[in-house]
Structure 1
């Protein structure tokens, strides 16, 4: 995998940053995107000071043209694109009668339509490299819960989208998988990571899982992976 190139959306913090760090540590050149330049710049510095190994991009996955430009910038900077990890996502958790139109649209547009934008923008390059596309969904993509209508809808959709895309793209020798984590220690939904989160999955755990998937024999495809903490908080 040395000198392969990976693009991680939502890579300036949390799971995305954890994945980027693990991949960079193992010789993969990485491009990360996020909505805020300051966050992206800080994340790039935390990954590597070598500009030949890491690229920071400001892009909002809700905007297809921004994702197209992100892929073009990656191609210009690194000359190729081998792996895409579509990680950008957000959650608003309210009863359905309190969920606003803006709450609903923000989740669907980011978690589902944004996923489509990232794949649509990158699929031509992945055909050339016979690459790998991974979406980071959630156990909320199969398990519904109270106050989760919008989030559940977006993540159920993300799982269905990714699995159907897997069937479409494997004829091009492109692998497509979805990872469905449970509780992860990140800033998601207003959480503040601390020692109290030691029982949760850590971002680097997801990074190591992604790395293992990239290492898997080309004949084998782990199309959908559920991952959860060993022991729920007691």
Structure 2
């Protein structure tokens, strides 16, 4: 079985790639930049030239949490490109192949797709857009037997927070781990029906300032 996982170099994407490889998947690591549409299209066509795809996991993501007027136009475009445009384009490029295999698209969104938080307008907009895309695409693909799942992780202990002024606390009950999320992804893949939307949360809500 063949899978494409974006964001494979670290965090949740890396953990998902590892667990899939442990379970007989050949994980393809894209070389094109997610904002380079022409290169991305060519690479996907080359990948699918000789064999079809079973699973697409759109996991790459970037964030910013500050007053909206302080965010550069370049950063605004980056978030839209990586968090929303890239998954939409990759789904488009892979769908014919996924229909042949009756495959699965999994989009890693965020808890912020389900709520409205201070200093999160841009990030929330991209993730809410991804969630809505996922849910609508599932309805489109039901007769084609292609599964679509949207996953909303809450605070997860990764390098996602390296550039922010806050991070999850050290309380193990206050954050998720990439490995736990990856285990859930494998369960979603193996589930007999379709889990269309799932939110993963730690028991406690605790963050700390750096």
Alignment of 1:24-103 (within 5 A): 24-32=21-29, 57-76=30-49, 79-103=51-75
2:186 aligned with 1:211, yes or no? yes
Kept in 2, the 8 Å contact 1:92–1:189? The answer is no
**Residue deviations 1:92-146 (CA, integer Å, cap 9, x gap):** 1110221222221111111111111111111111011110001000010011111
Q: How does 1:1-234 map to 2 (within 5 A)?
A: 4-32=1-29, 57-76=30-49, 79-190=51-162, 196=170, 198-199=172-173, 200-217=175-192, 220-233=193-206
Q: Supply the distance in 1 between the matched residues of 2:14 and 2:143 (Cα, whole angstroms).
A: 31
Query: What TM-score does the superposition give when structure 1 sets the normalisation length?
Result: 0.80
State the partner residue of 1:42: none
Runs of 5+ consecutive residues of structure 1 not aligned to the other structure: 33-56
Aligned mates of 2:92, 2:38 — CA distance in 1: 11
Q: Is the 8 A contact 1:83 1:126 kept in 2?
A: yes
Q: 1:186 to 1:148 in 2, by over 3 A?
A: same
TM-score (norm 2): 0.89
Relative to structure 1, the CA distance from residue 126 to residue 229 in structure 2 (aligned partners, 3 Å threshold; closer, same or farther) is: same
- 1:62–1:117 CA contact under 8 A, matched in 2: no
Measured after TM superposition, the shift of residue 67 of structure 1 is 2.6
Describe the shift of the 1:230–1:194 C-alpha distance in structure 2 as closer, same or farther (beyond 3 A).
closer
Pair 114,80 (structure 1): closer, same or farther in 2 beyond 3 Å: same
Do the aligned partners of residues 172 and 181 (structure 1) sit closer, same or farther apart at CA in structure 2, a change above 3 Å counting?
Answer: same
- In the superposition, relative to structure 1, how do residues 112 and 169 fare at CA in structure 2: closer, same or farther (>3 Å)? same
Conserved 8 A contact 1:90-1:189: no
In structure 2, the gaps of 5 or more residues are: none
Q: 1:108 to 1:211 in 2, by over 3 A?
A: same
The Cα shift of 1:216 comes to: 1.2
Alignment check: 8 A CA contact 2:156 2:168 kept: no
Question: Judging changes above 3 Å, is the alpha-carbon distance between structure 1 residues 62 and 197 closer, same or farther for their aligned structure 2 residues?
Answer: farther
After superposition, the C-alpha distances for 1:23-70 in whole angstroms (9 at most, x for unaligned) are 1111211112xxxxxxxxxxxxxxxxxxxxxxxx31222222233233
> How many angstroms does 1:169 deviate by?
1.4
